[in-house]
Chain A
């Protein structure tokens, strides 16, 4: 008798928490899209994530505000201009792989979160002689 009461209580508590967790994602969902998907599609959400590489030579930093920056994000053939005016990670540079999160307005992307995945220098193919100091005989 007592046992079933406690079992019921546990089930109720677990069920409530599970509902709380699974509904917790609502409003917090940020789809991870490709540039072409973003440019062609019509999405309900206002925030997105994009992944790609920084086009070489495309980083443009404002002369008046060191934080204000734009660059071209490249995903294969597709490109998009990204604005960002917060602190940049140390590893942010040309050709580096980045993930940006933010809003999409008039064909341009306004990011408020920028993550780099620039481990390539330390985690790459050893035979890529451009990035590694190798002497071939």
Chain B
């Protein structure tokens, strides 16, 4: 038997399903009869079903916190010893809980959009609510009938203590990585719903884009932060020395981010020039579908991946839902094509419009490359009968030139004028950046760079110069016009054009990340087994294992290696203390003890010295290490911070003039 609270949660979850259904019925009647009372009633039903989802989630969180092991889910993912933060994060650690958490975020979003549009967009809102509620209905169906987080443990079993959360996941980054990803995944439901509502109500204007623009940017930011947190966690915790493994689940989060990036660029053209109406529809449909698909990849176990859960019955349902969304929204789009025609055309190759167009093409191509590599095993198994995988080498080889093309466009696009760019302007805009990059190119050649690395660094210089010159041009324009001193002009320019300059900051952050990615080409690595007192060399550094000490902490036992790092010919650099830990070392059940390598990194702007204490044999006193020198990695993280700052800057509300 489960307690009152758990019953309340389970019932709220049931009722939420019922009220979602009621919402859809009431609003469809409203659309048919146009009786505003039906709309008010339907909207209330939507609010109530969202509130019920929130209640159910809160209840599950409470049960996790108080360790109610009568619930199977609680017993599976927490134990009494699990720290509070990770008891809460267990909410999204398992399949059933994470699906409920998905609906929870959607419910919060629904509450927000209903509140925001209480008095506005009255023609779109009924359909928007119907569409988001349908999505909610699908997920509630699964948490109610397929994988219910409120399932009690089997009758007759009393659970003394739960399993606890995998220590690898007991990390603050890992606790917030899934929810940020989900904020992103789920968030695309809202622009999707507005897009569909616009098409259904035959509103072919850019109105829906104005409504969802900020929303899309927030969602895009959340997904981006989620991806970067995952990368950072992998680098800091997993101990293979990289941050991106092209694992199916990583790819699943990257794909919607790529199409969403294309979307936030191409809606600018629709707003300014009323072009690409159909294309924007396609992009938002694809982005939302990929978000659902991403949830599916994570939660269904179709791909063997470090992230995914055991195989489950969710697969066909999810695929069915993805298929349904694709078919119905594209049918709608085809049906509405006559409405979407516009008279504006791209007039010249060398125009802002065509810059955006090619940027979109490259983003989509990159998304396709990721998709192709991710689905390759599935495709080959269907066609040839053998599962054939293509690993990181494929993704790197294919994506590097595509990424560089994107970087080039980042530099060129923003400088082009709308409709057409005159020769004089081209020369004026590009002569400096090209000259400076040429100088950079020569210097890079002289220090022995070649191939993609050379191209990448040269493009980084080019793009940085164009961005700087754009800032300078903006300041000059204000100085000329208002006679303001440069610092004031700079500040006012930023404040008055948040979108434009926020965008440039994000572009610059991408340049920094590319510098970091390029550093990957220079990685050095050694895997070695040594004893205390031994020395070994890597890339001009000498490593000495001074000693190995031991320590017992609350939930684990650790061997700590003392590694002295000296730069040959220059002197000591640092000491590193990677650890080999055994979690639950006191547990009588051997199988529950879990080894874990806690790595140590010495970070500078130029490079990381990365050390993993991978194994220890207490009999022979032999210890094994993996040491890496990873140049420029830090720039990926610095770029990440600037990415967030730039996006927030663009998002910050513009002060309204009275």
- List chain A positions with a Cβ less than 8 A from chain B: 2-3, 5-6, 9-10, 13-14, 17-18, 20-22, 24-25, 28-33, 49, 51, 61, 63, 65-68, 86-88, 90-91, 99, 101, 115, 117, 119, 121-124, 126-127, 130-137
Contact = CB atoms under 8 A, between A and B. Distances in A.
A121 to B, nearest CB: 7
Contacts of A119: 166, 309-310
A51 B369 CA distance: 26
A131 B592 CA distance: 8
Given A28-B390, A87-B624, A121-B592, 7 more contacts: A3-B345, A10-B358, A24-B397, A32-B386, A66-B615, A68-B529, A122-B76
11 contacts: A5-B349, A6-B357, A17-B402, A21-B372, A24-B398, A49-B389, A90-B168, A91-B594, A121-B166, A123-B76, A134-B160
Contact of B388 (A29, A68, A126): A29
A67 B163 CA distance: 31
B160 A135 contact: yes
B556 to A, nearest CB: 12
Nearest to A85: B527
Contact of B393 (A28, A63, A133): A28
B591 A130 contact: yes
Contact of B591 (A5, A88, A121, A123): A121
A28 B626 CA distance: 26
Contacts of B72: 126
Contact of A115 (B239, B306, B402): B306
A7 B571 CA distance: 61
For the side of the interface on B, what is the size category?
Answer: 35 or more
A6 B597 CA distance: 54
B309 A61 contact: no
Contacts of B387: 31-32
Contact of B154 (A9, A99, A122, A127): A127
Contacts, number: 157
Interface string B515-527: 0000000000001
Contacts of A29: 388-390
Contact of A31 (B154, B239, B388, B617): B388
Contact of B390 (A25, A63, A99, A122): A25
B555 interface: no
Most buried by A among B76, B156, B354, B389: B389
B77 interface: yes
Interface centre among A91, A124, A130 (most CB of B within 10 A): A91
A33 B381 CA distance: 11
The 8 closest A-B pairs by CB, nearest first: A32-B387, A66-B529, A28-B394, A24-B398, A66-B624, A87-B614, A17-B365, A87-B626
Nearest to A123: B310
A11 B258 CA distance: 20
A136 B113 CA distance: 49
Given A9-B349, A135-B160, A18 B165 contact: no
Nearest to A43: B386
B389 A32 contact: yes
A18 B239 CA distance: 34
Given A28-B394, A87-B614, A126-B75, A134 B157 contact: yes
B420 to A, nearest CB: 10
B597 A90 contact: yes
A122 B594 CA distance: 11
Nearest to B394: A28
B368 A18 contact: yes
A122 B166 contact: yes
Interface in B512-571: 527-529
Contact of A33 (B373, B386, B592): B386
